[in-house]
Every structure is written in structure tokens, then in C-alpha cells.
């Protein structure tokens, strides 16, 4: 990928959550949060014997992501993970995935974490586009993505079979101007101060 410092510290804070680069030391907390049947359901992970592979969270040198961002409360409690996955061709785009633990959903934390992550992606990493895939029945996530400027770009019909039922996979993408327009509609997150590295 061109542009941006891919190893720059990822430290942003909003009114409810902050994000920082995840490290291997975060793995126990994230593993405990990821042990969640609802996350499995919305990621399309069923009860097959190989499902455990989708629950493993590689971090640090083990991770193949462009960056893994730990989502925490303002006082540093880990609550979820955002990952940006590099494309194999240099077009300044990345695929996004996000999940939060069960006690931290339906409170606006995920939407704020998504906004902070997109701000980091477009401003710090200088990406041109961020895209994602979401299952058709994940209405809560789709609403959050739309709030942040994502638009539907395509459908893969009956692409994933989850517990015996075929479901459509929806491709959504957001460009920098889309995100800025969405931010203008939602209003500022605050100053989004960068937290000193010593307490990150």
C-alpha cells in the first residue's frame, strides 16, 4: 500500500471508547470476550468441528492484518477488536471487521469505535477506501455501518451456510468523502484526543 505510516501508534479517543494498537498481551482478555455465541452467529460461525479456527485471535507478529485495534472503555477496559485487512494489490483499500463483547453492545460503543477506526484509517493510514462483508440478517451491524457512511456495493446470494441455512453476504464500502458526509450528519465525537503512550 502507498501512503501513510502503517506502523504509527493508533491512539484515538471519543466520548465513550478509545482505540489503540492491540498487542499479544491483550490476547487473554480478547479470547474471553470472543467466547460468545452471538458473535459466532453474526460472523457466520456455526457449530461445525472447525469453528474454533474462527475464534482464534492472532495478535502482534502472529496477525496477518494491516492493523488490529483494541477497543477499550475510557478507563482502559478491553471490550472488543477492530481489524483492518490489507488487500493484495496496492490500491489503498482495506477490509474491516469489528466485534464487541456481549456486555458492551447496544449502547453506542460499537458505532463510536467504528467512527474512530475509520478516522484512523482515512487520516493516519491515508486509505482511499474501507470495505466489509456482512450477513443479511445482521441488521444491527448494517445500521451502524450505514451511519458511518458505508453503502451497499453488491450481494452474494446464498454465499454462507450457517447452521444449515443459506444466507446472502452483503458487500459494503465507504470512501473518504462518504465518511466525512456521515460525520457531518452525526456531529463531532469531541476532540478525539490522542492519549499519551505511557497510559495507552
Q: Which residues of the chain have pLDDT under 50?
A: 1-3, 52-53, 191, 193-200
Helix-helix angle 109-119:139-147, to 10 degrees: 40
Could you say which of 120, 131, 137, 145 is catalytic? Answer: 145
- Beta pairing class for 129-135 and 165-175: antiparallel
**pLDDT confidence of residue 9:** 53
- Catalytic site includes residue 145: yes
Distance CA 107, CA 110 (A): 8
Termini Cα distance of the chain = 27
**pLDDT confidence of residue 199:** 41
**pLDDT confidence of residue 12:** 93
Distance CA 79, CA 117 (A): 14
Are the beta carbons of 97 and 85 closer than 8 angstroms? yes
* 6 to 15, 116, 122, 124: CA distances (angstroms): 25, 16, 12, 8
**pLDDT confidence of residue 47:** 58
**pLDDT confidence of residue 196:** 44
Amino acid at each position: 500500500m502507498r501512503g501513510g505510516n502503517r506502523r504509527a501508534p493508533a491512539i484515538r479517543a471519543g466520548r465513550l471508547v478509545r482505540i489503540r494498537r492491540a498487542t499479544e498481551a491483550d490476547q487473554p482478555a480478547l479470547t474471553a470476550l470472543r467466547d460468545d455465541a452471538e458473535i459466532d452467529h453474526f460472523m457466520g460461525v456455526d457449530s461445525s468441528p472447525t469453528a474454533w479456527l474462527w475464534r482464534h485471535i492472532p495478535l502482534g507478529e502472529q496477525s496477518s492484518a494491516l492493523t488490529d485495534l483494541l477497543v477499550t472503555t475510557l478507563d482502559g477496559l478491553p471490550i472488543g477488536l477492530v481489524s483492518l485487512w490489507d488487500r493484495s494489490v496496492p490500491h489503498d483499500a482495506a477490509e474491516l471487521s469489528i466485534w464487541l463483547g456481549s456486555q458492551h453492545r447496544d449502547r453506542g460503543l460499537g458505532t463510536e469505535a467504528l467512527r474512530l477506526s475509520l478516522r484512523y484509517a482515512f487520516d493516519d493510514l491515508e486509505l482511499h477506501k474501507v470495505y466489509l462483508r456482512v450477513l443479511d440478517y445482521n441488521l444491527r451491524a448494517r445500521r451502524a455501518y450505514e451511519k458511518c457512511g458505508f453503502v451497499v456495493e453488491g450481494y452474494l446470494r446464498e454465499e454462507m451456510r450457517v447452521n444449515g441455512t443459506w444466507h446472502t453476504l452483503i458487500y459494503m464500502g465507504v470512501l473518504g468523502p462518504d465518511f466525512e458526509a456521515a460525520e457531518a450528519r452525526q456531529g463531532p465525537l469531541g476532540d478525539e484526543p490522542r492519549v499519551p503512550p505511557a497510559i495507552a
